[in-house]
Amino acid sequence: MKTNFSKIVIKSAVALALAAPFAASAESNFTTGAGSPITATARLDFQIIIPKVLFLQVGTGTNMAANATINQIAFSVPAVNVGDASVIAATVGSGDLGNGTVTAKVVSNNGNVTFSSATLGALNNGLGDTISYAQIATAVAVNTTATALAHPALADGATTNITLIPAAGKTISRDAKWTYTYLNSAVVAPGTYGGVNTQNSRVTYTASML
C-alpha cells in the first residue's frame, strides 16, 4: 500500500510541475478589502506576423493566388487595310476581358516595385520578315483602383522598366484595364507573326520588390 501511495504522490508532483509553465502564462489579479472602489487588472500581449507579399496579374488570374493561364492577343488585318495606318483592334476573345483587353494588377507590401516587360525580339513569321513591338500600342484605363497600373512599354529584344511607388507607407494595390491595338503603319510581307510562345510572341512581365 505504501508503494502505491508513493507512486500516486510522485505522479501528482510531476503533473503539477508540467502544468506550472502553462498556469504562469496567464495573468490574474485578486483584490479584496473595504475600500471603494477596488480594482483588479489582467493583461494580454498580442502579436501579428505579416509576410512580405508580391502579386502580379496580367490577363486571367485569381487575386493573391497562382494561375497558369497565358492569354493571347491576336490581330487579323483585313486585306484592304494592310499598312494603311488604320488602327486594328484585337480579335474577339483576345485577353481575359475580350477584344484585346486584359486585367493587370500588382499588390505588394514592402515599398517600391520595379515593374518590367521583356521580349526576345521583334515578332516574325518564320520566313525572315518582322513586325516591331513598337507597332503594338497599349491604352491604360482605370479598373477598380483610383490610380491605374501603368504599362511598361514593349520593345524588341529588350526589357523596359518602370518604378511603382506606394502612395503612402509601403503598400501598393493597383490595377488597370490594358487594351492592345495594332498600329498597322507599314506594309509588311504576308504570314503569321508570333503565335503561342513561338516567333518571339511571348512578352514576360515581371514585378520585383526588395
Please state the rounded mean pLDDT for residues 174-197.
98
Structure confidence at residue 25 (pLDDT)? 57
Nearest to 137 by CA among 100, 82, 91: 100
Structure confidence at residue 34 (pLDDT)? 87
Q: Answer yes or no: is pLDDT of 151 > 70.
A: yes
Three cell numbers at 87?
488602327
Structure confidence at residue 74 (pLDDT)? 98
Structure confidence at residue 153 (pLDDT)? 98
Structure confidence at residue 93 (pLDDT)? 94
Residue-wise pLDDT for 192-203, tens only, equals 999 999 999 999
Q: What is the DSSP letter of 135?
A: G
Q: State the chain's mean pLDDT as an integer.
A: 91
CB under 8 Å to 77, separation ≥6 — which residues? 88, 182, 184
Measured CA to CA, the distance from residue 142 to residue 130 in angstroms comes to 32
Please state the rounded mean pLDDT for residues 143-149.
98
- Residue ranges per domain, the chain? 54-209
- pLDDT-wise least confident of 5-19, 25-39, 89-103, 140-154: 5-19
Q: What single-letter amino acid sits at 104? A: A
Three cell numbers at 157?
529584344
Structure confidence at residue 33 (pLDDT)? 87
The per-residue DSSP string of 33-86 comes to SS-SS----------------EEEEESS-BTTB-------------GGGTTS-P
Identify the CATH class of 54-209: mainly beta
| Structure-model confidence comparison of residues 21 and 156, the more confident one | 156
Helices (H), the chain: 2-24
- pTM here is 0.84
Residue-wise pLDDT for 67-83, tens only, equals 999 999 999 999 999 99
Measured CA to CA, the distance from residue 173 to residue 41 in angstroms comes to 41
3-state SS, residue 93: coil
Binned at pLDDT 50, 70 and 90, residue 10 comes out as: very low
Structure confidence at residue 182 (pLDDT)? 98
Binned at pLDDT 50, 70 and 90, residue 168 comes out as: very high
Cβ burial 179-206 (10 Å sphere, 16+ → b, else e): bbbbebeeebeeeebbeeeebbbebebe
Residue-wise pLDDT for 16-45, tens only, equals 444 444 444 568 988 898 889 999 999 999
Please state the rounded mean pLDDT for residues 172-198.
98
Q: What percent of the chain has pLDDT over 90?
A: 83
Measured CA to CA, the distance from residue 138 to residue 176 in angstroms comes to 11
- What radius of gyration do the chain's Cα atoms show? 31
Q: Answer yes or no: is pLDDT of 137 > 50.
A: yes
